[in-house]
Amino acid sequence: MTTLADVTPEQLRAFVSHEARLLDEQRLEEWNALFAPGGWYWLPASPACTDPLREASHLYDDDLLRRVKIARLVHPAAHSQQPRGRCHRLLQESDVLQRDATGNRFELRTPFIYTELRASRTVMLPGVAWHQLVVHQGALRIALKRVDLLHADEALPAIEFYV
């Protein structure tokens, strides 16, 4: 990618698919590298949440928190990963809601079903992922990923991986 104006809707959709694949394959360090400096991963406790600093969230992770969680997940002695869990995301095609090359802002909405298998127990969670992407040093990066789970405001099972 050479300039912001070169970013196509197809590239934006491909980025979201690539991100999901990295998560499914548990290539977590590579996934974390997709975030822009100062990028956030947000899992609000209700789809109605508008401010992660004033309202409850299941997760609101910056780079440091993502790195800590990733280190815990990949550690051989991680109790929650005995046996190692697996996950899969089934994505609908992303809707490109905003493609503003001038403002370096791209926004996508992607409905999904997340499935996690751990210790013979399957958890399925439907939701919508919202990606705010920017171009940083010539590559698309995540400024904010917000995940609105259908069940966000109900008691959730223990989820080990990033959704």
- What is the count of structural domains for the chain? 1
Amino acid identity, position 110: T
pLDDT band at residue 11 under the 50/70/90 scheme: very high
136 located within any domain: yes
The enclosing domain of 8 has a CATH number of 3.10.450.50
Residue range(s) defining the domain that contains residue 112: 4-46+54-149
Tens digits of per-residue pLDDT, 58-95?
Answer: 999 999 999 999 998 877 766 555 667 789 999 999 99
- Domain assignment of residue 63, yes or no: yes
Q: SS in 3 state form for the chain?
A: CCCHHHCCHHHHHHHHHHHHHHHHCCCHHHHHCCEEEEEEEEEECCCCCCCCCCCCEEEEECHHHHHHHHHHHHCCCCHHHCCCCEEEEEECCCEEEEEECCCCEEEEEEEEEEEEEECCEEEEEEEEEEEEEEEECCEEEEEEEEEEECCCCCCCCCCCCCC
Q: What is the pLDDT of residue 80?
A: 59
Report the predicted TM-score, pTM, of the whole model to 2 decimal places.
0.92
Q: Look at residue 154 and tell me if it is in a domain.
A: no
Q: Is residue 92 part of a domain?
A: yes
- Residue 161 in domain: no
Residue 12 token pair: 């934006």
User: Which pLDDT band, with edges at 50, 70 and 90, does 3 fall under?
Assistant: low
* Domain membership flag for residue 83: yes
145 vs 158 pLDDT, higher one = 145
Q: Is residue 157 part of a domain?
A: no
Examine residue 129 and state whether it is found in any structural domain, yes or no.
yes
